[in-house]
Amino acid sequence: MTSLAPTTSPLDVAQNPGPWRPVSDNPDFDHIVGVFKALADPTRLRLLHLVAQKGCEDVCGLELAEALGVSAPTVTHHMKKLIAMNLVKREQRGKWAYYSVNERLFTCIETLASDIIK
């Protein structure tokens, strides 16, 4: 019978990480945490998905509010967090805000999500 127990303890790995560098040593660690926090909210994840569905087209905040059945201020609140994490871009056109997805980051998130689902 084979053992499923790890051959090294987490303490051994922490003291001697070998070629692997702990994620917390990454200078972008706080940004990575922020991205995951932003995506942890179901409304923000739905908003990101709706914006990404438009592809190269910008989508109006009012259209997003109607699609989700929430108020425009609610969309603005959530989009500010996605913008802060560079997941979405915003352009003001007169009275309305239009949003587009950061395609490079969205592709990474989409790949991660599909790997998690598998």
Domain annotation covers residue 17: no
- Tally of CA atoms within 13 A in the half-sphere of 98 that contains its CB: 9
48 within a domain of the structure (yes/no) = yes
Q: What is the pTM of this model?
A: 0.72
Range of the structural domain that residue 94 is part of: 28-117
Number of domains within the chain: 1
Residue 10 lies in a domain: no
Using the CB atoms, write b or e for 65-98: b if 16+ within 10 Å: beeeebeeebbeebbebbbebebbeeeeeeeebb
Specify if 100 maps to a domain: yes
Q: Is there a contact between 83 and 49 (Cβ–Cβ < 8 Å)?
A: no
Listed in order, strand segments (DSSP E) in 32-105 are 59-60, 88-93, 96-101
Domain assignment present for residue 57? The answer is yes
Q: Has residue 54 been placed in a domain?
A: yes
Query: In this structure, what CATH number is given to the domain that contains residue 51?
Result: 1.10.10.10
Whether 39 is in a domain gets the answer yes
For 46-102, write each residue's pLDDT tens digit.
Answer: 999 999 888 778 999 999 999 999 999 999 999 999 999 999 999 999 999 999 998
